[in-house]
Amino acid sequence: MKGRNTLVWLCAITVGIVIKMTMGMAIHPAMFLFGDSLLDVGTNNHFHECTARADHPYYGIDYPDSIATGRFSNGLSSADLLAWYLNDYEFSPPPFLTLTESSATLQLELFHGTNFASAGSGILIDTGHAHFKRVVPLWEQIQQFATIRGNISQLLGNGTADLFLGISTCIVSVGSNDLFEHQNALVQNQTQPDQLIANLTATFAIHLQNLYDLGARKFGIIGVPPLGCCPKERYIDTQMGGNGSCVDAMNDLAQAFHASTESLLRNFSSTNQGVVYSLGNTYNIIMDFIDNRRASGFEVVETACCGNGTFNAESGCELGSKLCPNRKNYIFWDEFHPTEATARRAALTLAYADGPEFVTPMNFSTLAKAFTNM
Ligand SMILES: *[C@@H]1O[C@H](CO)[C@@H](O)[C@H](O)[C@H]1NC(C)=O
Ligand SMILES: *[C@@H]1O[C@H](CO)[C@@H](O)[C@H](O)[C@H]1NC(C)=O
Ligand SMILES: *[C@@H]1O[C@H](CO)[C@@H](O)[C@H](O)[C@H]1NC(C)=O
Ligand SMILES: *[C@@H]1O[C@H](CO)[C@@H](O)[C@H](O)[C@H]1NC(C)=O
Ligand SMILES: *[C@@H]1O[C@H](CO)[C@@H](O)[C@H](O)[C@H]1NC(C)=O
Ligand SMILES: *[C@@H]1O[C@H](CO)[C@@H](O)[C@H](O)[C@H]1NC(C)=O
Ligand SMILES: *[C@@H]1O[C@H](CO)[C@@H](O)[C@H](O)[C@H]1NC(C)=O
Ligand SMILES: *[C@@H]1O[C@H](CO)[C@@H](O)[C@H](O)[C@H]1NC(C)=O
């Protein structure tokens, strides 16, 4: 009799805790971020051998206390700004590899979300490997998400964990590195653009399905930017005898991949119950900054703020590089990446834009608020 009472009490306490957690924490949607350097907030710092790292000056020069955290920016990155506009977080959730260093931290932070993004990584498992030695491919990022899902399930139970993941937003920025990596093969006509796009899209579809099967329902996809207009590509254009204009072939590829992703997401959402998504047209957003530099508030749209040589893009940003003083006026921070000012304006556009030019079929703030039927 006594034993039975104890059992009843234990159950009551357990249920009490679960409900409290459900009301107090799990009911708030979290944010999970996947992909490449646009969203990496320090994942790659964990790999000694990795060369795609931003944990040295002048990265972070405008970050609080000028710390180089691994963000590929002079200050805050797109991950932080989206976390701010969509979830009221001051910063992005921490990297998975930082969270898992201590189980106390993990349990504390778990309900805000996790950042899995790794600079240099791509849709294809090999992307970034030869170049940067060690990155976390999207495939492995999703395995890490499965671990987090397991940890959440242990704390909340499977049903509540599903509810929690279902109302949380998954942000994905991927594809740029896959396209860059194949640039030479495309130029040399060893790879056909259509085949590359088809392969990337089909592989992306598998990744999204895996995320869905793990409980993700809300997908904020950040499309690839006009890759051909980054300072590095303008520099490459001059190397090929051009005058430093955008590399059309890379921009065409970026647009083709965007269109293909749009089709993929339509299919994906129609075949998987409960999926809601936003696709950000980063191509249009950045092109608009470049074409309307006055209206958008940028003065320098071709040259990187930090680097060296032609367009400040002959080498990466490092101690001793040329560094612009007026960083708010530049679209590009280094040879590939946007400044905080650009990331802020782009994140604002993704979050709140009206109409289909910049984000379809809904903006990211509407996505983040959506409650899906599971
Ligand atoms: C999270 O899950 C992993 C894999 O199951 C496990 O090794 C780890 O101990 C868990 N962490 C916590 C804090 O529960
Ligand atoms: C929760 O889900 C996991 C993995 O899907 C499964 O192994 C486990 O048995 C489930 N637990 C409960 C209590 O249903
Ligand atoms: C590129 O390769 C394809 C088949 O691989 C071939 O049909 C085409 O003629 C080649 N184009 C050029 C410009 O070499
Ligand atoms: C994409 O191409 C790679 C390498 O050629 C191949 O191994 C893979 O199976 C392809 N994936 C899809 C989904 O077509
Ligand atoms: C640079 O070259 C492109 C063609 O490759 C041309 O369309 C553009 O007008 C040129 N720009 C300048 C400033 O000469
Ligand atoms: C989406 O589905 C349509 C119709 O089944 C198909 O033609 C198209 O190729 C699919 N798109 C992608 C990207 O898989
Ligand atoms: C930048 O370029 C100049 C000359 O072009 C060179 O002297 C200098 O060492 C370079 N600095 C870095 C950090 O690469
Ligand atoms: C975002 O999208 C929603 C739904 O399409 C729309 O009502 C709203 O005006 C858009 N902009 C903002 C600022 O929310």
pLDDT score, position 372? 52
Token pair recorded at residue 85: 């506009």
Are 253 and 186 in contact by the 8 Å Cβ rule? The answer is yes
The answer to whether the Cα torsion of 242, 244, 250, 255 is positive or negative is negative
Phi and psi at 76, nearest 5°, equal -70, 155
Are 75 and 64 in contact by the 8 Å Cβ rule? The answer is no
| Ligand 2 atom 9: residue of nearest CA | 158
pLDDT < 70 stretches in the chain: 1-27, 372-374
Atom of ligand 8 nearest to the CA of 362: 5
Per-residue pLDDT reduced to its tens digit, 219-246: 999 999 999 999 999 999 999 999 999 9
Atom of ligand 4 nearest to the CA of 206: 13
pLDDT score, position 355? 86
Q: Is 47 in the pocket of ligand 8 (CB under 6 A)?
A: no
The residues near 253 (Cβ < 8 Å, ≥ 6 apart) are 179, 186, 193, 196, 197, 227
Distances (CA, A) of 229 to 78, 185, 224, 257, 301: 19, 19, 12, 16, 9
Separation of CA 236 and ligand 4 centre (Å)? 28
| Ligand 8 atom 12: residue of nearest CA | 352
Residue bearing tokens 């056909």 = 192
Read out DSSP for 228-262?
GGSHHHHHHHHHTT--S---HHHHHHHHHHHHHHH
Gap between the Cα atoms of 24 and 173, Å rounded: 30
Cβ neighbourhood burial of 88 (10 Å; 0-12, 13-18, 19+): exposed
H-type helices in the chain, by residue range?
2-21, 78-87, 96-99, 103-109, 129-132, 138-156, 158-167, 176-181, 183-187, 193-213, 231-239, 248-271, 282-291, 293-296, 340-352, 364-369
Q: Is 308 in the pocket of ligand 7 (CB under 6 A)?
A: yes
112: nearest Cα among 40, 33, 221: 33
pLDDT score, position 20? 43
Q: Is 199 in the pocket of ligand 4 (CB under 6 A)?
A: yes
Token pair recorded at residue 133: 């030695």
Distances (CA, A) of 140 to 96, 135, 211, 217, 265: 11, 10, 12, 19, 21
Q: Is 203 in the pocket of ligand 4 (CB under 6 A)?
A: yes
Question: Which residue ranges have their beta carbon within 6 Å of ligand 6?
Answer: 201, 260, 263-264, 267
List, in sequence order, every residue forming a beta bridge with 114; answer none if it has no partner.
32
Are 300 and 330 in contact by the 8 Å Cβ rule? The answer is yes
pLDDT score, position 57? 97
Are 138 and 122 in contact by the 8 Å Cβ rule? The answer is yes
pLDDT score, position 151? 95
Mutate which of 182, 203, 204, 207 for ligand 4? The one with the most ligand atoms within 8 Å of its CB, which is 203
Q: Is 321 in the pocket of ligand 7 (CB under 6 A)?
A: yes
Are 137 and 121 in contact by the 8 Å Cβ rule? The answer is yes
| Ligand 7 atom 4: residue of nearest CA | 309
Angle between helices 158-167 and 138-156 (to 10 degrees): 130
Phi and psi at 115, nearest 5°, equal -110, 120
In the chain, the amino acid numbered 64 is: P
pLDDT score, position 165? 95
Separation of CA 111 and ligand 1 centre (Å)? 15
**Catalytic positions, please?**
37, 334, 337
Ligand nearest to the CA of 153: 2
Separation of CA 354 and ligand 8 centre (Å)? 6
pLDDT score, position 295? 86
pLDDT score, position 27? 59
Gap between the Cα atoms of 144 and 237, Å rounded: 39
pLDDT score, position 278? 98
pLDDT score, position 17? 37
| Ligand 1 atom 13: residue of nearest CA | 103
Measured CA angle at 46 (ends 44, 48), to 5 deg:
90
Q: Are strands 306-307 and 322-323 parallel, antiparallel or unpaired?
A: antiparallel
